[in-house]
């Protein structure tokens, strides 16, 4: 047993990638979440970006762009060995990654513009059209 533990996955930063299977709690992977998560990192920080279990699992299971087993294996190897150059090379050369980022960025922008004029109440799910602090249907606060 090592005296100093070495973790494969880095501790979470301010950037948050949604956890899988939490759609009912409002955490949705992909789209705006992936676009926001990617915007928090530069290409030089791709190793830190990829060193997130939920992010890697999303890459393996997303339905927008299917990554090959070889592509995922290369990225996981770069993460497990903490090889920054290999991770950056993966991000630059993997067309599926570039396509996924472009799709999620586009999807995130269209979702943001569609939801900017309305908001769904967390309590009764009514679609409010006015920007107000409470729901016009149930009267409960919007941010509670």
DSSP H or E stretch at residue 98: helix 95-115
- DSSP, collapsed to helix, strand or coil, labels residue 120 as strand
Q: Using one digit for the tens of pLDDT, what is the confidence trace for 96-140?
A: 999 998 888 776 565 555 445 778 888 888 888 777 788 877 888
**Cα 5 from chain centroid?**
27
pLDDT computed for residue 92 by the predictor: 96
| Single pTM value for the model | 0.67
* Domain limits, the chain: 23-116
Containing 128, the helix (H) or strand (E) segment is strand 127-128
* Cβ neighbour number for residue 26 with a 10 Å cutoff: 9
85 vs 36: CA distance, rounded Å: 23
pLDDT tens-digit series, residues 4-35: 766 677 665 666 788 887 777 777 787 888 88
pLDDT surpassing 70 at residue 81? yes
């Amino acid at each position: 047993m090592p005296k100093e533990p070495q973790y494969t996955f880095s501790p979470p930063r301010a950037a948050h990638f949604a956890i899988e299977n939490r759609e009912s709690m409002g955490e949705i992977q992909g789209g705006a979440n992936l676009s926001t998560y990617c915007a928090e990192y530069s290409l030089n920080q791709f190793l830190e970006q990829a060193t997130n279990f939920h992010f890697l699992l999303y890459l393996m299971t997303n339905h927008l762009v299917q990554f090959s087993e070889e592509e995922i294996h290369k990225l996981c190897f770069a993460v497990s060995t903490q090889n920054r150059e290999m991770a950056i090379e993966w991000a630059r050369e993997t067309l599926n990654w570039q396509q996924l980022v472009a799709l999620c960025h586009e999807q995130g922008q269209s979702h943001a513009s569609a939801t900017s004029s309305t908001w769904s109440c967390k309590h009764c799910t009514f679609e409010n059209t006015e920007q107000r602090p409470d729901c016009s249907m149930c009267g409960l606060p919007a941010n509670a």
